[in-house]
Amino acid sequence: DVKVTQSSRYLVKRTGEKVFLECVQDMDHENMFWYRQDPGLGLRLIYFSYDVKMKEKGDIPEGYSVSREKKERFSLILESASTNQTSMYLCATLGQLNSPLHFGNGTRLTVT
């Protein structure tokens, strides 16, 4: 069974802080994704990575960056957190083509 682990379940940060959200998977999947989920807007793709050191912008990359130094780990970075980045962040992995996504249990980030 695929396991996707996000480092924190709840996080509270101050405006302007640099924030790291970590995601680790144990299934050797190439594709990893970061989404944010907000009421009424659904899940929106921030960034994804299809291989080590490879990254692609999703639909809402502004204010975020990512790092994929190892296959199992995909990090989301908020360079300078802002209150509009308060959200639920979900990491997901994808194995072979046409297979479903596997999600981590999410990080609820509050920026004050």
Partner 1 sequence: RKEVEQDPGPFNVPEGATVAFNCTYSNSASQSFFWYRQDCRKEPKLLMSVYSSGNEDGRFTAQLNRASQYISLLIRDSKLSDSATYLCVVLTMNTGFQKLVFGTGTRLLVSP
Binding residues for partner 1 (CB under 8 A): 31, 33, 35, 40-43, 45, 48, 50, 56, 88, 90, 94, 97-98, 100-106, 108
Residue number, 36 or 75, with CB nearest to partner 1: 36
Name residue 27's amino acid: M
Residue number, 17 or 45, with CB nearest to partner 1: 45
Name residue 40's amino acid: G
37 close to 54: Cβ distance less than 8 angstroms: no
Residue number, 71 or 79, with CB nearest to partner 1: 71
Sort strands 10-13 and 107-111 into parallel, antiparallel or unpaired. Answer: parallel
